[in-house]
Every structure is written in C-alpha cells, then in structure tokens.
A and B are shown apart, each in its own frame.
Chain A
Amino acid sequence: EVQLLESGGGSVQPGGSLRLSCAASGFTFSSYGMSWVRQAPGKGLEWVSANSGSGETTYYADSVKGRFTISRDNSKNTLYLQMNSLRAEDTAVYYCAKASGYSSGRSEYWGQGTLVIVSS
C-alpha cells in the first residue's frame, strides 16, 4: 500500500525558512517522480514543484522559483521541499504526491498534507 506522510509544517515569520519532508513507503521510490502541490485556505490546488526519480531533473512554478528547492534522498525514501524567503502568500497546506511515471505524469497518490503558516 502506497503511503505518503508529510511533516515539517508550522508557523514562520515572513522572510523565514522551513523544510518539509515526505516519507514514502509501499513502492520503489527511486522509480517515480514526485511533486509538491499546495492549497491556500479556502482556495484551489496549485502545483509547486516536481522532480524525477533520480532527483536530477526538477521543475518549479514561477511563484516559487528561486526561493524553493525540491530534493530527495532515495536511500531514505524521502522527498524534501526547502522553502526560503517565505511570504504570506505561501501560507497553505502542502501535499506531496507520487507521479505515475519516472519524471512526470498524473499524481496517483497524495499524502494528507502539512500546514505552513507565514505570518508576523
């Protein structure tokens, strides 16, 4: 059974940093791309970032490019999102999702999310 468990959310001041983690199990982690998708309170889904199974290929939404970094440790079956220079508009629930393929594809499975609040 595929399981994705996010952690690392919390409250941070504008300009601060957080690192989110997503622990994966139930599949061969290094064989699949992974994504981060966020949802601001009461709003829709926004794709944030993705990487390939090896982690060598990465993609970012313009809204986070230069501030967020996606990475993964395939030995630990864990996906990360390093978030720097946080802004109030980054406040959201952050979901990790498993892609259907090595570098892209639909988001087949989702974690339950971790809440990030950026506020002074």
Chain B
Amino acid sequence: EIVMTQSPATLSVSPGERATLSCRASQSVSSNLAWYHQKPGQAPRLLIYGASTRATGIPARFSGSASGTEFTLTISSLQSEDFAVYYCQQYNNWPQTFGQGTKVEIK
C-alpha cells in the first residue's frame, strides 16, 4: 500500500496570505495525485487532479505542482472560504490512499 504523508498537520494563515501544503508518496504515483478540501459537515470537493490541473470551477488561486514523489498545493491568497481541511489522494495504485490531512486555520 502506498502511504501518503501530508505536512504540516495544521497551518495557521492570515486571510490574503499564501499557503503551501505538502504531500509525499512512499513510492511513485506518477502524476495520479488529487487534492480535495473539506469544510465542516460537508463532503470533500475535488480541487486538483493530475497533480496540477484545476477541477471545474476551482479558482486560479489554487495551484498544484509535483517533483518526483513530492507534491505541493499552493493557495496564493487565502479567502475566508478556503479555511478547511485539505487531503491529497493517490489514484495510481490500488488501494487508493489518502493523506491524513492538513487543517488550514485562521491565524
């Protein structure tokens, strides 16, 4: 099973600031990496797939990048609606696996 490790566990950011979230895979997942965010009481929502492609309707302030088995989600200027928990997921191998999540909270 591929283990996905996210860091940090919690990120405290002020509105308007930049947030950088990391996700590391224990082995290659090619570019089959997705990012989701989840607000309290809601289902997860797809943000990024293919490591760097924004899903339909996702604002341009969200961007994804990859370097080997290291993946990064960047939110260029945090808006109030962006404070949530973010998960990465690899869908290259079965079982598909999620990271443990990064909580982005208001500083």
Indicate whether A and B interact.
Answer: yes
**Which A residues are within 8 Å of any B CB, using their own CB?**
35, 37, 44-47, 50, 59-62, 95, 100, 104-113
What number of A-B contacts does a CB cutoff of 8 Å give?
58
23 contacts between A and B (CB under 8 A): A44-B99, A44-B100, A45-B36, A45-B38, A45-B87, A45-B89, A46-B98, A47-B95, A47-B96, A47-B97, A47-B98, A50-B96, A60-B95, A61-B95, A104-B94, A106-B32, A106-B46, A107-B34, A107-B36, A107-B46, A110-B43, A110-B45, A111-B43
Contacts of A105 in B (CB 8 A): 91
- Bound form: Cα–Cα A111–B43 in Å: 7
Known contacts: A62-B95, A106-B89, A108-B55. The answer to whether A44 contacts B101 by CB under 8 A is: yes
The 4 A-B residue pairs with the shortest CB-CB distance, nearest first, are A110-B43, A106-B34, A106-B49, A45-B98
- Chain B residues in contact with chain A, CB under 8 A? 1, 32, 34, 36, 38, 42-46, 49, 55, 85, 87, 89, 91, 94-101
- Is B43 within 8 A of A104, CB to CB? no
For the complex, what is the distance from the CA of A35 to the CA of B34, rounded to whole Å?
A: 15
Q: A106-B34, A106-B49, A106-B91 are in contact. Are A35 and B96 (CB under 8 A)?
A: yes
Query: How far is it, in angstroms, between the C-alpha of A65 and the C-alpha of B32 when the chains are bound?
Result: 24
Residues of A within 8 A of B100 (CB): 44
Which residues of B sit under 8 angstroms from A44, Cβ to Cβ? 85, 87, 98-101
Q: For A100, give its contact among B36, B43, B49, B87 (CB under 8 Å).
A: B49
Most B Cβ at <10 Å: residue of A37, A45, A59, A100: A45
Residue of B nearest to A93 (CB): B43
